[in-house]
Structure 1
């Protein structure tokens, strides 16, 4: 019985599902990794490797805002520089950009300056990826 328990524990420890679920600190998520870099004037740049899906960028800034900046989950996060294909980064801020419509849209996007969502909603995309089986 003891050998069976050890074998089951070893199988779980080396399985990809458990390796993804453990994570390696802030910025490590299943399927992709985000890097958040503070810029000037309260702007944060998010770079993603392993994915270019909009939810990857929102996950990165939402998680950073709540865990590192200690914002409330209701804090709005705004895009101040939209996604550019060659650059593959998005810049966010906790304050709305001047002169831009900040009415939230109905789809998740990183291609419109002024697009925004709450930090809690953005961080929620980090947890959705635990059930992502690689179908993109």
Structure 2
């Protein structure tokens, strides 16, 4: 019985370290590396490093909005300028872009102006490295 308790304790202690080493996003650091550059008029430009997966861009702006701008998790974030192949950046704002439709879908996209999600949902992608296919 003593051996079983010791084995369970060791598994509980080692599991977080192993999952972090494998890259499942468990821990205190986001799985994606991004840079966020504030532009004029409340626009923020996100560049993902090493990937062009849409979740990387949403992760970058969500994490920046909550940690740096101190917005609430329910604050909506909108795409104001979509992903461009050569530039590899996406521009976001905390207000809906002028003249764009309010596009709320279950699809994670960075190609539609007006597409949006909450800051909490966007930041949640930082800790979900399993779905990064590198598209």
- Normalising by structure 1, we get a TM-score of 0.76
Cα distance in 2 for residues equivalent to 1:101 and 1:84: 20
Mapping for residues 27-46 of structure 1, pairs under 5 Å: 29-30=30-31, 32-46=32-46
Q: CA deviation at 1:105?
A: 2.1
Equivalence map 1:1-136=2 (5 Å): 16-17=21-22, 21=27, 23=29, 29-30=30-31, 32-129=32-129, 132=130
Secondary structure of the corresponding residue to residue 128 of structure 2: helix
- 2: CA distance, partners of 1:106 / 1:68: 26
Q: Deviations over 1:25-63 (max 9, x none)?
A: xxxx33x31000000010000000111110000000000
Aligned residue-pair number: 118
5+ long unaligned stretches in structure 1: 1-8, 24-28
Moved over 6 A (4+): none
Distance in 2 between residues matched to 1:105 and 1:87, nearest whole Å: 25
Unaligned runs of 5+ in 2: 1-13
